[in-house]
Structure 1
Amino acid sequence: MTTYDPERHAVLLADYCVTARPGDRVLVSGSTLALPLIEALHRVLLQRGARPVVRLSYPAQTEDVQRFASDEVLDSLHPVEIEDARALDASIRILTPTPPAPDIDVARAARHRAAQAPVAMSTLHPRWNLTLYPTAFGAEAAGMTLPEYEAFVARAMFLDTPDPVQKWGEIRDFQAGLIGRLAAADDVHLVSEGTDLHLSVRGRTWSNSDARRNMPSGEVFTAPLERSANGVAHFDLPTLYGGRVVRGITLTFNDGEVVEARAEEGEDVLRAALATDGGSRYLGELGIGTNVGIQHPSMNILFDEKIGGTVHLAVGQAYAENGGTNRSAVHWDMICDLRKGGTLSLDGEPFEVNGQFV
């Protein structure tokens, strides 16, 4: 069985994902559960001449802020926090899957996420990466043993290959071919069980996600025109949002805005997220997963949105690099599995059928 090696993971993050250079101030943030990877990253960054800034948290730290913080602390950042974040050259955030916290007030959690928006990695500097360290709960959520889950994570990142950077280069080239067709498209029509949605990507730029910002990756994405989505979208893969399971989401769009929202489980979380701010009811992203090394969901969006044969839509924040103008503290990816009989068409021509590119 493939084994997960935090040392190989650290080298890939430092050298490929953020390209650490001498003198760079690189933030490494994650919970104590990820200590083996954090220690390895600290060593590798020092060897590259960088200045690592390590910020450890305990596993339930964010939830405790959302439970116990005063309104002032919950809803705002100290000026020093903002200035310190702006002084970073690059950042690596390590996710460590932990059990959901069912007693969190979803409205307070949404307020906290909104307050953190000014120091979000994607708004501060171009060199940032979001990755994951395999935990026992992550394995349980994915329906695997811990060794199986560690192997799953390693395969998804191509850490099991002699040269992971070369493999990501191959994915980049394949995705560039997809973008060649997508860049000429206007109308995108998504059809699957419970889904019949039109949206426009006319004039928008497509990004080739080759794991420099998400490790693992394997997707192409853009920002739909903000007022273009019309129809119904059903998302059949469950997600975790703010530590809560949300399952069976159905959104109805009218001229870009979510006008009706339902969920089979976690509907209160869905409604709270959509009420966060003026941009949280509009789409910020359309993404197409290409990573065939990820074949089944693991209840972690970093992996699940990359599954080859799936499409995801995100409500909320759009990336300016794609031409998107929607702004929000929310960016929630929701996944539709085309492998079960779905079709993605571009200007009336099939582009992906049953999870296979035409």
Structure 2
Amino acid sequence: MTYDAERHAILLAEYCIAVQPGDRVLVAASTLALPLVEALHRTLLQRGARPVVRLSYPNQMEDAQRYASDDVLDTLHPSDLEDARAFDASIRILTPTAPDLDLDPQRAARHRASLAPISPSRLHSRWNLTLYPTEYGAQAAGMTLPDYEAFVAKAMFLDAPDPVAKWGEVRAFQAQLIERLSRADEVRLAAAGTDLCLSVRGRSWSNSDAKRNMPSGEVFTAPLETSANGTITFDLPTLYGGSVVRGITLTFQDGEVVDATAEEGQDILNAALQTDQGARFLGELGIGTNVGIQHPSMNILFDEKIGGTVHLAVGQAYVENGGTNTSAVHWDMILDLRRGGRMQLDGEDFQVDGRFVETTAR
């Protein structure tokens, strides 16, 4: 199928944020996403909402990180926080663009730290992060633009007669996973270059059914902060601050990263882990379930949801899962269990080669 911005907009408004008459809704995107922004603006107005559109130019964030004075880079103006609190819901639209390879990763990390207080996840109960397919996004994924648009549509179930019903199926399947995961204490991940144990005892699991990320398809929790011990090698590349990082290996001792290497992007990895004290501890363990996404596209919004993968995030934990780790960083790193990996719960196999062994897969 071809990508349909109108269909995407309706799903975002009606399903993801459940818009209500009178809601003041922030729509933030770059000018590259204008077709979706226009469709979303109309859709919100038709439902009685008060949309506020904030457009940026491509690479505007990178310019801020390069040219801002130290004061502007490191601090948030009080009015920015007041403005962010004034919305009932927010939708942020990602538009993949070429990374700025000359950007100082330390300055980028400082800027992200200053913006942390206005993160939608900290201010709103209704927020969504989505993506509009761009030419660069297609190139990064190794696809033509029409193929990439079809990939995005399939990942969001926009090709289904009833996308909302499809996301309901995902929610029901993931509820089965959570029933078993909620009884677990120790999680062990084993694969090439990986033997890591951590505890999730007493932590709640979230059923990510695309209300907050579109697309989605994952269950996640916050590991006990001092429980991770061992080594993990993430075999799928990621982008952080617009830069590619590959072949990350982290070694944990009592929850803290004590050694970190990358085959590509070592300076980016070092800068992220030095952002603050919490950046060296885990904030998330997630399990991807979206079988509509079969291969990486160099975009974490999609790649962490690939069915048969798990991901760990260093940095900020989700308070609703019981996590206490705080950081300006939240960086998801992905391990593909389909390549001979195993996930065990209290010594029992839960996933082998990316397939669930205790729950019937869709």
Task: Pick the TM interval, shorter chain.
Answer: over 0.9
Q: Distance in 1 between matches of 2:25 and 2:352?
A: 42
Aligned to 2:18: 19
Aligned to 1:123: 122
- The answer to whether 1:53 aligns with 2:52 is yes
Aligned AA (1:149): Y
**TM-score of the superposition, structure 1-length normalised?**
0.99
Q: Distance in 2 between matches of 1:327 and 1:4?
A: 38
- The answer to whether 1:243 aligns with 2:259 is no
Matches within 5 A, 1:278-297: 278-297=277-296
Q: Distance in 2 between matches of 1:282 and 1:92?
A: 28
Aligned to 2:79: 80
Aligned AA (2:149): E
Aligned AA (1:230): N
SS at match of 1:280: helix
Q: Distance in 2 between matches of 1:75 and 1:25?
A: 29
Q: Distance in 2 between matches of 1:65 and 1:296?
A: 33
Deviation at 1:78, TM superposition (A): 1.0
Deviation at 1:346, TM superposition (A): 0.1
Aligned AA (1:253): F
Aligned to 1:216: 215
Q: Distance in 1 between matches of 2:304 and 2:13?
A: 23
Q: Distance in 1 between matches of 2:326 and 2:70?
A: 23
Deviation at 1:60, TM superposition (A): 1.0
- The C-alpha deviation readout for 1:33-91, integer Å capped at 9, x for no partner, is 00000000000000111110100000010000001000111111111110010111000
- The answer to whether 1:268 aligns with 2:254 is no
Q: Distance in 2 between matches of 1:192 and 1:130?
A: 31
Matches within 5 A, 1:303-342: 303-342=302-341
- The answer to whether 1:90 aligns with 2:71 is no
CA-atom RMSD in angstroms? 0.4
- The answer to whether 1:231 aligns with 2:209 is no
Aligned AA (1:9): H
- The C-alpha deviation readout for 1:119-150, integer Å capped at 9, x for no partner, is 00100011000000000000000000000000
Q: Distance in 2 between matches of 1:138 and 1:80?
A: 34
Q: Distance in 1 between matches of 2:338 and 2:287?
A: 12
Matches within 5 A, 1:106-121: 106-121=105-120
- Listed as ranges, the gaps of 5+ residues in structure 2 are 358-362
- The answer to whether 1:343 aligns with 2:342 is yes
Q: Distance in 2 between matches of 1:71 and 1:342?
A: 45
Q: Distance in 2 between matches of 1:51 and 1:73?
A: 30
Q: Distance in 2 between matches of 1:51 and 1:74?
A: 31
Aligned AA (1:136): E
Q: Distance in 1 between matches of 2:106 and 2:173?
A: 42
Q: Distance in 1 between matches of 2:325 and 2:332?
A: 15
- The C-alpha deviation readout for 1:281-317, integer Å capped at 9, x for no partner, is 0000000000000000000000000000000000000
Q: Distance in 1 between matches of 2:188 and 2:243?
A: 30
Matches within 5 A, 1:178-197: 178-197=177-196
Q: Distance in 2 between matches of 1:320 and 1:77?
A: 23
Q: Distance in 2 between matches of 1:74 and 1:48?
A: 38
Aligned to 1:168: 167
SS at match of 2:279: coil
SS at match of 1:44: helix
Q: Distance in 1 between matches of 2:107 and 2:56?
A: 20
Q: Distance in 1 between matches of 2:48 and 2:281?
A: 43
Deviation at 1:176, TM superposition (A): 0.1
> Where does structure 1 differ by over 6 angstroms across 4 or more consecutive aligned residues?
none
Aligned AA (2:239): L
Aligned to 1:7: 6
Aligned AA (1:76): T
SS at match of 2:280: coil
Question: How many residues are matched?
Answer: 357
Deviation at 1:257, TM superposition (A): 0.1
SS at match of 2:171: helix
Deviation at 1:188, TM superposition (A): 0.1
**TM-score of the superposition, structure 2-length normalised?**
0.98
Aligned to 1:256: 255
Aligned AA (1:303): F
Q: Distance in 2 between matches of 1:126 and 1:192?
A: 37
Aligned to 2:101: 102
Deviation at 1:278, TM superposition (A): 1.1
